[in-house]
Structure 1
């Protein structure tokens, strides 16, 4: 975006943290405050308000966020379309994607991209978020797509799309009539979890910590390395699982799985592009822009 202030505001509105905004944009926290203050002075309204230790958007801030999001999307499309006027993409693109992204989000984007740019040769490395970040740091790939909460020093992260984890169970069996559980009750339910190093497991641990619980308190029935394996296990057992909502769309429609609410516990995360702090190679940037544009 040409107006960096809007980029700062959008990031602050999504993270609700000036500290995290500064980290994501590689600027100082005072610089974040200055940019937000300039917007508030320009529009003569407060955009954020503090509720104790929490930061919240005001009504005016919500209006600006919706408008800024539209401006950002339009600008990204314009920038990408203009780049096509000057360049024809070709060459080799090495991508890495964490398991959930590789299975459910990346294939449709790759199909559109390779159809648009047949001269590009694409290879994809799949693993958990930690493995993808290490591969990027070791320069084995040009661009990563991860789902982790933490940020590794020396890497740059850009939001791809938000995601939510949901608790799922099979319609029959032990939990057929269970509509919701408390976080404490969740610790007594047999669960199928991902392996150590996965972004999904990191999100679960962070959410539990927020309500005073630990990952070690969960009753783990099985650990599996893929979401498809986890879903298959749950469909054939009385265990439950916490998985990305995008991974169970078909099962929810067919009735093979159902969502059980967790009272007072929301498990959200960002799917992000990640590259070395230096500007990524042109093809990596072009693919990221293409995926973000939704073309």
Structure 2
């Protein structure tokens, strides 16, 4: 069942083999044996393309239920001994994965050393899709989700700010008008990113149409935008969480206020629609909610030490 679920999730025998540390022929043999036992074909193999048959889709539904039950059993058995244990599959959009979640995970693992977390990162669309497909138990995203296959709840407040190279003409100004953004090359996150969505919506609200902006480059991470700004390639919008440590030096880039433009957003925690998460997943979800104030205070103290 484990092998079938891996192939069904990746729709690739090769990727399933890599995930399970098996050879591809071994994976193929196990799938063939399962199909023979059931008397049905689970996968449609056409050339290099792999797709689930109707029977395969039904089987995947039960495989996911079996996987969830096994995880719940592991968590409940560990709880009998008074501690949490087991695998915790998480995913986060890039800003959260780089700057927020490591702090939370470190605190959680200090209290629950037998928990084994895994973390994937990607843009908001990627993480929502992974949650909907039950590839991860909890996702942390930077923008709203339009998927009906997941539920979401706020867990942290963020604000996007404009940064420019330290030598830029705007670096010495107290603020600029939103309309001035049309006059400089901008560095933007890729489409599908929560950050990109928030920026475009905020600018639209201030009558600055994204089509009128000069997008010098699209980048797939906040770190890439920061590096490009430092190199003098343009101005960019980044999360305040992402520049908490950089702000203490203030030599490579400057934060520039945009008149009347406040881009606050809620970081969201998402999980699959249906029954509420239980066991270890529910405990981490509760831990995140309790630690919001702690994380915020830690970031503030970092800023003060660097002031």
With normalisation by structure 1, the TM-score equals 0.68
Give the direction of change, closer, same or farther, for the CA distance of 1:86–1:164 in structure 2 (3 Å limit): farther
Q: Write the distance in 2 (CA, Å) between the matches of 1:258 and 1:85.
A: 53
Tell me how many residue pairs correspond in the alignment: 212
Q: Write the distance in 2 (CA, Å) between the matches of 1:239 and 1:119.
A: 46
User: Structure 1, unaligned stretches of length 5 or more?
Assistant: 1-83
Match of 1:216 among 196, 199, 211: 211
- Match for residue 141 of structure 1? 136
Q: Write the distance in 2 (CA, Å) between the matches of 1:87 and 1:199.
A: 39
Q: In terms of mean alpha carbon deviation, does 143-152 or 220-229 score higher?
A: 143-152
- Match for residue 242 of structure 1? 237
User: Structure 2, unaligned stretches of length 5 or more?
Assistant: 1-78, 295-307
- C-alpha root-mean-square deviation of aligned residues, in Å? 1.8
- Match for residue 38 of structure 1? none
Match of 2:190 among 185, 195, 205: 195
- Match for residue 166 of structure 1? 161
Q: Is the 8 A contact 2:159 2:264 kept in 1?
A: yes
Q: Is the 8 A contact 1:149 1:269 kept in 2?
A: no
Match of 2:118 among 108, 111, 123: 123
Q: Write the distance in 1 (CA, Å) between the matches of 2:145 and 2:284.
A: 24
Q: Is the 8 A contact 1:96 1:145 kept in 2?
A: yes
Q: 1:238 offset after TM fit, Å?
A: 5.0
Match of 1:140, SS? Answer: coil
Match of 1:176, SS? Answer: helix
Q: Is the 8 A contact 1:99 1:126 kept in 2?
A: yes
Q: Write the distance in 2 (CA, Å) between the matches of 1:239 and 1:125.
A: 29
Q: Write the distance in 1 (CA, Å) between the matches of 2:218 and 2:146.
A: 24
Q: Is the 8 A contact 1:173 1:238 kept in 2?
A: no
Q: Is the 8 A contact 1:169 1:175 kept in 2?
A: yes
* Residues 82-93 of structure 1 mapped to structure 2, 5 A cutoff: 87-93=82-88
Q: Is the 8 A contact 1:97 1:126 kept in 2?
A: yes
Q: 1:87 offset after TM fit, Å?
A: 4.8
- Match for residue 270 of structure 2? 274
Q: Is the 8 A contact 1:170 1:257 kept in 2?
A: yes
Q: 1:156 offset after TM fit, Å?
A: 1.0
Give the direction of change, closer, same or farther, for the CA distance of 1:232–1:113 in structure 2 (3 Å limit): same
Q: 1:213 offset after TM fit, Å?
A: 2.5
- Match for residue 262 of structure 1? 258
- Match for residue 221 of structure 2? 226
Deviations 1:60-105 (A, max 9, x none): xxxxxxxxxxxxxxxxxxxxxxxx8995211111000000000000
* Residues 93-108 of structure 1 mapped to structure 2, 5 A cutoff: 93-108=88-103
Match of 1:175, SS? Answer: helix
Deviations 1:129-164 (A, max 9, x none): 110000111111000000113442131111111100
Q: Write the distance in 1 (CA, Å) between the matches of 2:82 and 2:267.
A: 28
Q: Write the distance in 1 (CA, Å) between the matches of 2:208 and 2:241.
A: 26
Q: Is the 8 A contact 1:190 1:240 kept in 2?
A: yes
Q: Write the distance in 1 (CA, Å) between the matches of 2:213 and 2:156.
A: 28
